[in-house]
Structure 1
Amino acid sequence: MDALKTIACLLYPNVMSLDVTGPLQVFASANVERQRQGLPAFYRLVVLGQQAGAIATSAGFQLVAEQSWREIDAAQIDTLLIPGGPGEQAQCQNQALLTWLRGAEPQVRRLGSVCSGALILAAAGLLDGRRATTHWADAETLRQGHPEVEVLADCLHTYDPQDLHGNGHVFTSAGVTAGIDLALALVEADLGRSMALAVARRLVMFLRRPGGQAQFSTLLTPEPSRVPRLAALLEWIPAHLSDNLSLEVLADQAHMTPRTLSRVFVQELGMGPGRYVERIRLQAACNLLQDAQASISTVARLTGFVHPENLRRTFHKHLSVSPQEYAQRFA
């Protein structure tokens, strides 16, 4: 068979340890599954740092970089993964690393990121004109800091080996454990579905996880001090979710015309009143389902969706899962 495919993962101070070890374990498990079938290993795993040696992760313990990325021949790397973590911001300013990544990109077969590692790829200019995702908490940072990147905040990863726009060459994954989802997709592309499924079973996880990462996120509401013209109304809305919250009702409560209220919402929150109310109702429904204190019908009534079907449609629209599935995972 061909030589082992080298999977290289970057290591830097304050990296998220699971961003490194999670995906690498998937490739290592693929080697183990092949050996169980009497086949040779397929992957060679290597961890790269700015210098070889031990590097402290954000968890406090150390991982060891076997080699400096300065010294490795990028053409010998099959797949290069860039993890995220609190130390990512410093690496976005590491001009030597960014220059090396730009030089490595055309030489490696696949270049991907895990979690906030997408911000490092973006800082190197390697996501310009591409679709990308990252941890849900960093999606807005990626969107605002790199408007030339098409940010997909809810998908688990953007890898697509059949894509004609380059998503089989440069790709990203979402928050933390989505790096494992990405690694399984890479194994499936390399070794077939049956091998990827065997690895997923061995690791006791989905081959393809239902839904996107939005189901794990928090719908953030603004601080009243940041939206003074809407502060009183935004405090009033959560206490009246089961009421009629039409544009006219909201405008009357805010002592504005409907047209003015719509304009102020867009200016201060980036969305219209109807969309904002839907998001607050969805957050309230999630909270009730997590507490497991009410049926789906009761949750729909208390949060203003009225009917369970309306609640189900909203959950699928925003979270890509049903209320029942959400309750099963998070209650």
Structure 2
Amino acid sequence: MRRVVLVAYDNAQLLDVSCTSDVFDGANRLGVTPGYEVTLATVGGRAVRCSGGLTLAAHARLDQVRGPVDTVLVAGGFGHEDAAGDTRLITHVRRLAAEARRVASVCTGATVLAAAGLLRGRRATTHWGWAARLAARHPDVTVDPAPLFVRDGNVYTSAGVTSALDLSLALVEEDHGASVARDIARYLVVYLQRPGNQAQMSMFLTTPPPDHEPLRDLVSYICAHPADDLGTEALAARTGVSARHLTRLFTTHLGASPSRYVRTVRVEAAARLLSTSDLPLASVARRCGFGSAHTLRQAFVAHYDTSPSTYRRMLRGGGPHDRASIGMRPPATTAST
């Protein structure tokens, strides 16, 4: 069995624990060989109270877990800063990491890995809401808040909460192949393995409606009509302001020029069509305001670091893919998170 040591602490996020353990359990139920033996380890072997109020009983005392182990995985949660300041927890995470084939964190568990020195000189991600703080406290870590998960050598970090599913499925795929990971995803009724370089949150969620009412109406129009003439002059005329003033409004309220914002809307609209329809690329391009499939491809690669056809194939689980490099470059964003 592959030994997985899942490290938790008070105020950990229950989903960070359950998502990972259920993916490994799903692999075992499919009869993979070798399977996974998941051990929930805590300081002193104490039960931990999760941030949602439920209490988890530990399998083992962290100081009594001995290597070698296959995977050390640290959960995230609101207690991550206290956990990072616990010298006992940090000492044993560092010790086990030295004897593990790979080390991983979910969400703000990256704070614990960083405190243990395991992210030094590496690229990593974490929950988008904590990325700036992690970067400020650990300047020796290249923190990228965009991807769902990042692999740097044998160290894996993932974004917030349910990205634990994406990371765990990727780990299982690495061990047992894409078909096993897809079967687990189907069993858990989850999205069929989002690529690691997909943004943590869609721009339609991360960018709140602007307070400026005419601009808010214009943004709604852009999102609903990506195939229309959305040039700066045309948008300015629709809003009743000059092109220069419109550019100032977009920069102030949305952190991007009108053209950049429109391009991102169109690319994300294309991504939705690619994942929900069988339309040929030329049709997707036309519906989303791109002049041709070639123009769509250029914009798509710039945003997602993968081609439209590869993106569609990955989302539908078609064909083998080398996921080792996925998540190694962030997609473009229109506004900081």
TM-score normalised per structure 2: 0.64
* Alignment of 1:33 onto 2:33: yes
Higher relative contact order (CA 8 A, sep 6+): 2
The one-letter code of the counterpart of 1:223 is: P
1:180 alignment partner in structure 2: 168
| Secondary structure at 2:41 match in 1 | strand
Distance across 1 between alignment mates of 2:108 and 2:202: 17
Shift of 1:216: 8.1
2:324 alignment partner in structure 1: none
Cα distance, 1:6–1:239 mapped onto 2, change above 3 Å: closer
2:250 alignment partner in structure 1: 265
* Alignment of 1:52 onto 2:37: no
| Aligned-residue RMSD, C-alpha | 4.6
Cα distance, 1:291–1:77 mapped onto 2, change above 3 Å: closer
Distance across 2 between alignment mates of 1:144 and 1:270: 21
Shift of 1:273: 2.2
* Alignment of 1:220 onto 2:204: yes
| Secondary structure at 2:259 match in 1 | helix
Shift of 1:113: 0.7
Distance across 2 between alignment mates of 1:216 and 1:130: 19
TM-score normalised per structure 1: 0.65
Cα distance, 1:321–1:140 mapped onto 2, change above 3 Å: farther
The one-letter code of the counterpart of 1:178 is: D
Distance across 2 between alignment mates of 1:77 and 1:131: 23
The one-letter code of the counterpart of 2:45 is: A
Cα distance, 1:236–1:32 mapped onto 2, change above 3 Å: closer
Shift of 1:100: 2.6
1:21 alignment partner in structure 2: 21
| Secondary structure at 1:180 match in 2 | helix
The one-letter code of the counterpart of 1:151 is: D
1:142 alignment partner in structure 2: 131
Unaligned runs of 5+ in 1: 35-40, 161-167, 188-195
Rg: which structure is higher? 1
**Do the aligned partners of 2:123 and 2:143 also contact (CA within 8 Å) in 1?**
yes
Q: In structure 2, which of residues 106, 112, 119 is the aligned counterpart of residue 114 of structure 1?
A: 106
1:68 alignment partner in structure 2: 61
Shift of 1:156: 3.7
**Do the aligned partners of 2:128 and 2:200 also contact (CA within 8 Å) in 1?**
no
**Do the aligned partners of 1:132 and 1:172 also contact (CA within 8 Å) in 2?**
yes
* Alignment of 1:8 onto 2:8: no
1:171 alignment partner in structure 2: 156
| Secondary structure at 2:250 match in 1 | helix
Please list, as runs of the form range in 1=range in 2, the aligned pairs for 1:87-106 lying within 5 A after superposition: 88-94=77-83, 96-97=85-86, 100-101=89-90, 104-105=93-94
**Do the aligned partners of 2:148 and 2:166 also contact (CA within 8 Å) in 1?**
no
2:292 alignment partner in structure 1: 307
| Secondary structure at 2:204 match in 1 | coil
* Percent of aligned pairs with the same amino acid: 25
Shift of 1:152: 5.8
Distance across 1 between alignment mates of 2:238 and 2:173: 50
Q: In structure 2, which of residues 312, 319, 322 is the aligned counterpart of residue 325 of structure 1?
A: 312
| Secondary structure at 1:46 match in 2 | strand
* Alignment of 1:132 onto 2:111: no
Distance across 2 between alignment mates of 1:62 and 1:200: 34
Shift of 1:279: 1.6
| Secondary structure at 1:244 match in 2 | coil
Cα distance, 1:6–1:216 mapped onto 2, change above 3 Å: closer
Shift of 1:242: 1.9
